[in-house]
Amino acid sequence: MKTPRPYVIAIAGGSGSGKTSIINALKEHFPSTQIAVLSQDDYYLPIEKQPLDESGEVNFDLPECIDWPLLEEHLTTFQLGNSISKTEYTFNNDARTAKQITIASAPILLIEGLFVIHETTLQPFIDFKVFIDVDEAEKLRRRLNRDSKERGYSKEQILYQWNEHVSPAFFNFLMPYRAQCDLLIDNNISFKKGVEDLIEVIQQELKKSKPSLL
């Protein structure tokens, strides 16, 4: 019997908006047999292929930084009910060793990232779009905390990237699609409420695909 294609939910939001936290909350609620997750970050091209800004600094916050053909290939593989395998992206942190990631297909596929709603080649795959909203000041605070601890960046590097790359990318490649999304999560007000709303969406789709999954 042919496996039904996954219901694909795209989760977009600026850097520091809470995409990873929401994904982790969903993974805690649903077993891996029900949801799978693809992260846009794992499809960054090698650093030598990344674009440079006018100051000669690498700009990781442009759609062309991502290997979209490979991501599209993996989405096609998921639609056929098959697993995918790829190398984890380590954000050029030499202290981290890249892992080989194997992701099995599931009835619900979450795909998260900065540009997943902007990229036209992905749109035929996407069934439901989520936009996560957070104040710019709060996003910057989270970015400073994360990039200093996890990626070893200095405060000066983080602020430069924020002002020159991150903030412009949000207003150019994310904000224009906010009104087109099916669910807006206001992460300024309630993280818990946003997770609950998304859980409800997923549960409804699982009921449609196969009641026994619940």
Digit-coded pLDDT (tens) for 14-70: 998 999 999 999 999 999 999 999 999 999 998 899 999 999 999 999 999 999 999
3-state secondary structure 7-19: EEEEEEECCCCCH
From 96, 70, 196, 110, select the one nearest 152 (Cα to Cα): 96
Tokens of 162: 């924020």
CB atoms within 10 A of CB 141: 13
Q: What is the pLDDT of residues 63-95, one digit of tens each?
A: 999 999 999 999 999 989 899 988 777 665 555
150, 158 Cβ separation under 8 angstroms: no
3 state SS of 184 = strand
Instruction: State how far the Cα of 75 lies from the Cα of 138, in Å rounded to an integer.
Output: 32
Instruction: State how far the Cα of 211 lies from the Cα of 54, in Å rounded to an integer.
Output: 54
Q: Give all domains of the chain, ordered by start, each with its CATH number.
A: 7-207 (3.40.50.300)
Q: What is the pLDDT of residues 109-158, one digit of tens each?
A: 999 999 999 999 999 999 999 999 999 999 999 999 988 888 888 999 99
Distances (CA, A) of 84 to 72, 139, 214: 12, 32, 25
